[in-house]
């Protein structure tokens, strides 16, 4: 015990000096980080740019760790430690530097995404080009983040001699392992390949309106393995990427967001079709959702007791078409109730003069 205490006391000046150098490096890194972000915030207040706001938002926390570790790595050669403790300290600093740098790169990807989203907005009326870009951007972002994380972890592991030797042994059996993994993860790999295909051929895009499995909704998220569909009633439908490669589905916004919708009415044979057609035109001309493309009324079927009328209307998006169809249906029925009540579906009874039991015909809305 006495010898160990004497040995520790003999190295006390070196330990004290080393701690002082490390704390100095830590302080220098924190001051540098504070100075850089103070200048950035001042510039953001003066110019109010998206770049300044995004960097301050995403890189602030990562920089709090990266700058001190970077400063410590620069002053590390000045630390007077014996070879073995110095090697352990150097490895720890290298690992921390790689991980914090990778963290900063991942957050830089978020900054780039903010810049793209600032320039291109999904809220526009005709956003087909923007939806194409955002679909590719989301997939590429996930791919880049995964590659950064993979490379960072690989560099950390390969910095240890034991792992390097293990890696050399694994490479010799890589062929057999790849075959085994290929069979075991066949569906996962096919989903990943489907993700590449969807990102660049784009049968679906972010914010596309789809009808899938009888559900109407918008594409909310596309990941490496699945697609999240936001249903109109705020439910979420999650489907594997392979679904959109192997099965049919409806894409209402494939080339344009504009749509045509149909309104069906069941009426009596006495309905004045021309008057109803004129009323349809009047309703659409004052309605703000009509895009002035389609305004048509046809008699599409003559059933046993009713006529089927179909009104076609158009609007700029699927949501607008739905609202417009509901408004047109309501106002056309109100018009018939007010002006031509006899044109609504009716029940008729025919009494035979010879006293036979009457035949009753019932006509109901379809």
Question: pTM, whole model, 2 decimals?
Answer: 0.55
pLDDT score at 336: 92
Q: What is the pLDDT of residue 1?
A: 52
E-assigned strand segments in the chain:
209-212, 215-222, 226-231, 236-240, 250-251, 259-267, 290-302, 307-315, 348-350, 359-361
| pLDDT attached to residue 188 | 59
Q: Residue 254: what pLDDT?
A: 78
pLDDT of residue 280: 93
Quick one: DSSP state of residue 329? H
Per DSSP, the residues of 98-149 read HHHHHHHHHHHHHHHHHHHHHHS-TTSSS-HHHHHHHHHHHHHHHHHHHHHH
The pLDDT of residue 366 is 42
CA diameter of the chain? 133
Q: For position 12, what pLDDT does the model report?
A: 56
Q: What is the pLDDT of residue 201?
A: 74
Instruction: State residue 295's pLDDT score.
Output: 92
How many C-beta atoms surround the C-beta of residue 53 within 10 A? 17
Low-confidence ranges of the chain (pLDDT < 70): 1-16, 18, 44, 47-48, 121-129, 132, 161-192, 196, 349-350, 353-366
Taking the alpha carbons of 75, 80, 84, 88 in that order, is the dihedral positive or negative? negative
Cα angle value 67/68/71 (rounded, 5°): 85
How far apart (Å, rounded) are the C-alpha atoms in residues 258 and 318? 7
Contacts of 335 (CB under 8 A, 6+ apart): 276, 279
What digits encode the pLDDT tens for the residues 301-344? Answer: 998 888 999 999 999 888 888 899 999 999 999 999 999 988 88
Please tell me the distance from the alpha carbon of residue 86 to that of residue 286, in angstroms, as a whole number.
81
Residue 271 CA to residue 245 CA, distance in Å, equals 48
C-beta separation of 259 from 314 below 8 A? yes
pLDDT of 328: 94
Contacts for 317 with CB less than 8 Å, ≥ 6 apart: 125, 209, 253, 257, 258, 259
Helices 2-10 and 12-47 meet at what angle, rounded to 10?
50
Q: What is the pLDDT of residue 78?
A: 77
pLDDT at 236: 92
Cα first-last separation, the chain: 99
Contact of 192 with 245, CB cutoff 8 Å: no
């Amino acid at each position: 015990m006495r010898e160990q205490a004497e040995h520790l006391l003999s190295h006390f000046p070196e330990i004290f000096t080393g701690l002082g150098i490390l704390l100095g490096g830590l302080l220098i890194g924190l001051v540098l980080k504070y100075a850089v972000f103070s200048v950035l915030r001042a510039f953001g207040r003066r110019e109010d740019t998206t770049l300044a706001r995004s960097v301050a938002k995403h890189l602030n926390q990562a920089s709090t760790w990266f700058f001190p570790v970077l400063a410590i790595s620069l002053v590390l050669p000045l630390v007077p430690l014996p070879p073995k403790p110095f090697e352990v300290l150097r490895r720890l600093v290298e690992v921390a530097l790689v991980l914090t740098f990778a963290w900063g790169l991942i957050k830089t990807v978020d900054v780039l995404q903010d810049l793209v989203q600032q320039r291109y907005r999904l809220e526009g009326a005709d956003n087909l080009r923007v939806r194409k870009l955002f679909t590719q951007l989301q997939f590429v972002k996930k791919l880049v983040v995964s590659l950064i994380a993979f490379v960072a972890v690989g560099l950390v592991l390969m910095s240890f001699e034991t792992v390097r030797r293990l890696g050399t042994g694994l490479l010799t059996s890589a062929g057999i392992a790849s075959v085994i993994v290929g069979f075991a993860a066949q569906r996962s790999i096919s989903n990943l390949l489907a993700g590449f295909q969807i990102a660049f051929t784009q049968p679906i895009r972010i914010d596309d309106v789809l009808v899938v499995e009888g559900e109407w909704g918008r594409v909310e998220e596309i990941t490496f393995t699945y697609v999240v569909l936001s249903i109109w009633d705020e439910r979420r439908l999650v489907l594997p990427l392979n679904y959109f490669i192997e099965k049919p589905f409806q894409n209402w916004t494939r080339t344009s967001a504009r749509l045509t919708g149909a309104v069906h009415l069941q009426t009596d044979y006495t309905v004045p079709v021309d008057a109803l057609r004129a009323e349809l035109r009047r309703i659409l001309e004052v309605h703000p959702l009509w895009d002035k493309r389609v305004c048509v009324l046809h008699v599409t079927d003559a059933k046993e007791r009713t006529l089927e009328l179909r009104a076609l209307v158009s609007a700029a998006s699927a949501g607008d078409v739905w609202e417009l169809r509901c408004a047109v249906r309501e106002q056309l029925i109100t018009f018939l109730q007010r002006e031509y009540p006899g044109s609504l579906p009716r029940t008729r009874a025919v009494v035979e003069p010879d006293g036979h039991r009457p035949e009753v015909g019932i006509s109901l809305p379809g």
